[in-house]
Amino acid sequence: MELDLDKSPESRSKEDAAPTVVGIVKEKNDNRVALTPAGISQLQKAKLKVLLESGAGAGASYDDSSYEKQGAEIASGDEIFKKADVITSVGKPDQETLTKLRSGQIFMGLLQPQINPDLIETLRRQNVTAVSLDSINRRLSRAQTMDVLSSQANIAGYKAVLVAADAYGRYFPMMITAAGTAKPASVLVLGAGVAGLQAMGTAKRLGALVFGYDVRPETKTEITSVGAKFIDLGDVSGSGEGGYARALTPEELAKQQDALNAHISRQDIIITTAQVPGKKPPLLVTQEAVKLLKPGSVIVDIAASELGGNVALSKPNETVITENGVVIIGAPNLPSAMPTSASDAFSGNLSSLLSYMSKEGVCGIDTEDEIQRDIVICHKGEIINKAIAELLNEKRG
Ligand code: NAD
């Protein structure tokens, strides 16, 4: 029986409801998988049917049989696109995937609609329902188990420290040995959101001297609570709406960069995590600042992107060694480098969401629901998320 996904689970009668088929597709440029075997067992409780593209879990060390044991069926990629009502993915659909998506199908993944409005417009025109997991309202207490941004940022912050420690030619902790005493490494973390705080805590646990800075002054308590020293830049303040930072004016940013330089020059390791939602990441470590660092210093820029990152010379997914011997690692996708934990967490978030959206084995879209109205970006050919509707209207002029 064809499933009417336009009806909310509540409004669908038991007789017309065939179980929703959830498809898990293999990621193209990521080691993660959207749902792990533990997630399948949760979806079984919600009476949803699961189809896995063969090999989709391999990058995260989950083989097909571990999914079959939890009741998933294995299929080819093409079969998934034909049979599934909901396609689950970590990343956004590429051109090839877009050609396979069917009208009425739901696509769930990290779509970053604010920086990919053209993709949303394409999905809307194809009558695909786009559910963007990164658009969840994290402030709603019942949405916290579904907060993919936090679960993945937490992993990125932890892994950034390990990557930095691996590239650094010295100890992190103070080491007193018969051969002499090694000083502890000095680590500065810029940006004290989920990733930054985790990075500070991890560097502290490795024995480094840790400093933390954020443009939102209210982060001071959080920074000190993870054992880092708060860097106070005086009157540079950029608290925005909803706990996020606002984009600084060019003058404010220049002032901030100058004030940071004095602190940057004393560090061995710098980890940058600063983001402003929907905007280009702020440039915090200038070329001039990099020149102040000692040879062998390491910078890991989690915010590195095609638009630019927090560090002047960082390039996404590349390691640059400067003339003065500073190692700059552009690391925009660290969760993919810790794929099993990252997939476990992603899957926990996604299976909570799918269970929440489902009743009696049927997953439905309800654009009035307080969680869904943010994450459902387009549905039935209309843009549902208000901020994205405004953005697209502005774009159309
Ligand atoms: P994010 O990824 O948007 O940004 C990372 C950090 O960069 C932020 O702390 C931001 O203030 C900082 N930043 C931006 N511009 C900067 C600049 N010019 N200089 C220095 N730092 C700069 O942040 P996030 O991890 O998504 O967290 C954003 C907010 O959401 C925080 O207030 C966090 O506590 C909150 N949050 C709440 C919940 C919840 O309520 N359940 C869950 C997760 C996060």
- The hierarchical CATH code for the domain 9-146+339-396 is 3.40.50.720
Ligand 1 atom at minimum distance from 247 CA: 15
Q: Is 93 in the pocket of ligand 1 (CB under 6 A)?
A: no
Domain residue extents for the chain: 9-146+339-396, 150-337
Cβ atoms of 86 and 357 closer than 8 Å? no
How far away, in angstroms, is 71 Cα from ligand 1 center? 38
Q: What is the pLDDT of residue 355?
A: 97
The chain-wide mean pLDDT, for the chain, equals: 94
Q: Indicate if the pLDDT at residue 2 is higher than 60.
A: no
Q: Is 220 in the pocket of ligand 1 (CB under 6 A)?
A: no
Q: Indicate if the pLDDT at residue 267 is higher than 70.
A: yes
Q: Indicate if the pLDDT at residue 1 is higher than 50.
A: no
Q: Is 243 in the pocket of ligand 1 (CB under 6 A)?
A: yes
Q: What is the pTM of this model?
A: 0.93
How far away, in angstroms, is 240 Cα from ligand 1 center? 10
Distance of CA 328 to the CA centre of its chain: 21
- The hierarchical CATH code for the domain 150-337 is 3.40.50.720
Cβ atoms of 9 and 359 closer than 8 Å? yes
Q: What is the pLDDT of residue 16?
A: 57
Residue 382, Ramachandran bin (φ over 0: left; ψ between -120 and 50: alpha; else beta): beta
Q: What is the pLDDT of residue 397?
A: 76
Residue from 158, 239, 275, 352 whose mutation best tests the ligand 1 pocket (most atoms within 8 A of CB): 275
Q: Positive or negative CA dihedral for 167, 172, 178, 180? A: positive
Q: What is the pLDDT of residue 234?
A: 81
Structure tokens belonging to residue 276: 């402003």
Taking only the tens place, the pLDDT of each residue in 165-190 is 999 999 999 999 999 999 999 999 99
Residue from 138, 197, 239, 371 whose mutation best tests the ligand 1 pocket (most atoms within 8 A of CB): 138
Q: Indicate if the pLDDT at residue 10 is higher than 60.
A: no
Where does 61-144 show beta strands of DSSP type E? 73-75, 86-88, 106-109, 129-132
Q: What is the pLDDT of residue 17?
A: 67
Q: Is 245 in the pocket of ligand 1 (CB under 6 A)?
A: yes
Q: Is 303 in the pocket of ligand 1 (CB under 6 A)?
A: no
Q: Indicate if the pLDDT at residue 389 is higher than 90.
A: yes
Q: What is the pLDDT of residue 306?
A: 86
For the chain, what percent of residues have pLDDT higher than 90? 90
Identical fold for domains 9-146+339-396 and 150-337, yes or no, is yes
Q: What is the pLDDT of residue 243?
A: 84
Q: Is 143 in the pocket of ligand 1 (CB under 6 A)?
A: no
Q: What is the pLDDT of residue 156?
A: 98
Residue from 235, 276, 285 whose mutation best tests the ligand 1 pocket (most atoms within 8 A of CB): 276
Q: Is 279 in the pocket of ligand 1 (CB under 6 A)?
A: no
Over range 257-282, report the average pLDDT.
94
Q: Indicate if the pLDDT at residue 14 is higher than 70.
A: no
DSSP β-bridge partners for residue 359: 362
Q: What is the pLDDT of residue 242?
A: 81
Catalytic positions, written as ranges: 139, 144, 147, 150, 244
How far away, in angstroms, is 55 Cα from ligand 1 center? 35
Q: Indicate if the pLDDT at residue 6 is higher than 80.
A: no
Q: What is the pLDDT of residue 235?
A: 75
Residue from 216, 256, 260 whose mutation best tests the ligand 1 pocket (most atoms within 8 A of CB): 216
- Residue with the two structure tokens 């998933």: 72
**Beta carbons within 8 Å of 361's beta carbon, 6+ residues apart:** 17, 19, 20, 46, 47, 48, 49
How far away, in angstroms, is 192 Cα from ligand 1 center? 6
Higher pLDDT, 376 or 115: 376
Structure tokens belonging to residue 255: 């002032």
3-state SS class at 206 = coil
**Ligand 1, atom 19: nearest CA belongs to which residue?**
215
Over range 328-333, report the average pLDDT.
98
Ligand 1 atom at minimum distance from 195 CA: 25
Over range 376-396, report the average pLDDT.
94
**Beta carbons within 8 Å of 323's beta carbon, 6+ residues apart:** none
Q: Is 105 in the pocket of ligand 1 (CB under 6 A)?
A: no
Taking only the tens place, the pLDDT of each residue in 64-123 is 999 999 999 999 999 999 999 999 999 999 999 999 999 999 999 999 999 999 999 999
Ligand 1 atom at minimum distance from 274 CA: 7
**Ligand 1, atom 2: nearest CA belongs to which residue?**
275
Distance of CA 235 to the CA centre of its chain: 30
Q: Is 139 in the pocket of ligand 1 (CB under 6 A)?
A: yes
Structure confidence at residue 218 as a pLDDT band (50, 70, 90): very high
Q: Is 199 in the pocket of ligand 1 (CB under 6 A)?
A: no
Over range 115-142, report the average pLDDT.
96
Q: Indicate if the pLDDT at residue 9 is higher than 70.
A: no
Q: Is 244 in the pocket of ligand 1 (CB under 6 A)?
A: yes
C-alpha to C-alpha distance for 40 and 205, rounded to whole angstroms: 34
